[in-house]
Structure 1
């Protein structure tokens, strides 16, 4: 069998050089703009609170399509019925 494939545009060497260049470029950009990133960080933490509330609670309403009655019944402790002495 003869496997004559055209050469790939992204050879291993090209990929390695691109990844190294991208890593250096990202490091330099992050270093130069660290003041901007650190300045917005408190606002991102404040924004994370309502976003986590929305996504982690799944609305608590009937809009999510989940049946919460089974969940609530499962979470309440089950008390065994006491037998009456006759």
Structure 2
């Protein structure tokens, strides 16, 4: 006996396969590697300015905000707070 679906009948053929992400392609991986390497070299060359400026104290705060933004996917990523669909 087949259980009735509550969300409608969704078949795999209804959603065509999406093309692969640019960031997972060979060019995307090379770009990420080049940006990381360039950032490390830039940071190494300017380490005296970075460490001596006093702005390094803000780094933990910026990391927390950045992690919150990217880990939750931006605004509205907390699992549906305030949507009013609690029954």
- State the TM bucket, normalised to the shorter chain: 0.3 to 0.5
* Structure number having the greater helix percentage: 1
Q: TM-score, normalised by structure 2?
A: 0.36
